[in-house]
Structure 1
Amino acid sequence: MTETSQAATEPHRPPIGPRRAFAVWLAVVRVLAVLQAAVTIGQPLSIGQYLAGLYDWLGVHSAGATLVELLGLLLAVAALGYAVTGGRVWLPIACWAMLVAETVQTGMGYARILAVHVPLGVLVVTGAVLLAIGVFSRGAGRARPRRSGR
């Protein structure tokens, strides 16, 4: 088979354009934000079980903290991809700020500094829920307008 005949038989696949890349990153960000919010909401529920006397739930709470941080890191990285492909700049800033808060939150929990851990936990849960709502806003779903001259 010659090069020309092989190229003629294969379907042409255009590279992913900037608008398609934006849509892919937006979808990834939305999925991760919802997952992170769900796991974050589960954190006070798991510690509530521990406080009710089911002491094995402290391990669930600890594993949940690890999962929250992992999802936070993935979300922060995905938010960068979203912003680079035309998304709103506020999103990666908010995601990286959330990741810092989650990391401090986890550290305060392991250090048993509950005077910081509990109120910061309220802020982290609130922030995760607001972030999950924000990524579904009309503005987050629209790419920034392109600058002229590019």
Structure 2
Amino acid sequence: MAANIRSATPADVGAIFALMHELAEFEKLTHLFVATEDAVHDALFGARSSSEALVAEADGRIVGYALFFHNYSTFLGRRGLYLEDLYVQPTQRGSGLGTCMLRRLAALAVERQCGRFEWSVLDWNQPAIDFYEKLGATVLPDWRIVRVTDEALERLAAPDNAS
């Protein structure tokens, strides 16, 4: 099997979107999946794009993707690279595509002088945790993701809530 990792192009958005939905199914989170193909295109290639992506191809088709963006560490005083999604279709797992994408992103983080490269992993996804640790990543036990969405976000943003 010939494999290739490359930067995503606008023509790849449909395939990336389909893989995003597969990821939501794998994580049992389809009830939270409300993204649209247009929103993904805008995030990656719109006038105010906020994200970038790599795609993994095998035998002429896209079988994986990595979606990432920059964040900033006030403690380091440098930007970082944040991996939002890394997904490889089940039939391609173990082929090295995930490792290749992570290595490419690590090289990009070094090239862009990022202070760190980080991402989140679900606590039940032990195969992913083992994979990341094998590559030298540390799963931080003392940090939790804090999130405000939907109506709670609207309430928090409302001017009458200002204190």
Q: Using structure 2 for the length normalisation, give the TM-score.
A: 0.23
Which protein has the bigger strand share? 2
Which protein has the bigger helix share? 1
Larger radius of gyration: 1
